[in-house]
Amino acid sequence: IHDSMTMRTARGNAQGAVADLTLEQLKTLDVGVWKGPQFAGERIPTLDEVLTAFRGRAVVLIELKARGIEERVAQIIHDTGMEDGVVLQSFDAESMRIMRGLLPEVRGK
């Protein structure tokens, strides 16, 4: 999710700050309709769902926007077998240092 609030890009009953909503609540939001009626009904996928869907089909760029999620992201990448299928980036040098230690084989920007 790019925005910190759901109001601009999501429609549904669970509106507010992303950090205050559960995954279950976020999954109920329609995040496609704001782009156009042909995208209505699109839901927010988890990182695991995205990596599983694109395994062997595309390289996925993952931007780490918050420190403290490195171990969980590394575990998801490992569990989905996507070490060769992702590129990591972050504006936080420490976050990238942590990720290089956890997944030295993964490319970073």
User: What is d(CA 109, CA 103) in angstroms, rounded to the nearest whole number?
Assistant: 14
Q: Which pLDDT band holds residue 38 (cuts at 50, 70, 90)?
A: very high
Q: Each residue of 66-107: pLDDT tens digit?
A: 899 999 999 999 999 999 999 999 999 999 999 999 999 998
| Per-residue pLDDT, 32 | 93
Q: Return the percentage of the chain with pLDDT > 90, whole number.
A: 80
- CA-closest candidate to residue 6, choices 30, 38, 39: 30
| Dist. CA 9–CA 34, nearest whole Å | 6
Which CA distances in Å does 31 have to 17, 72, 86? Answer: 15, 24, 24
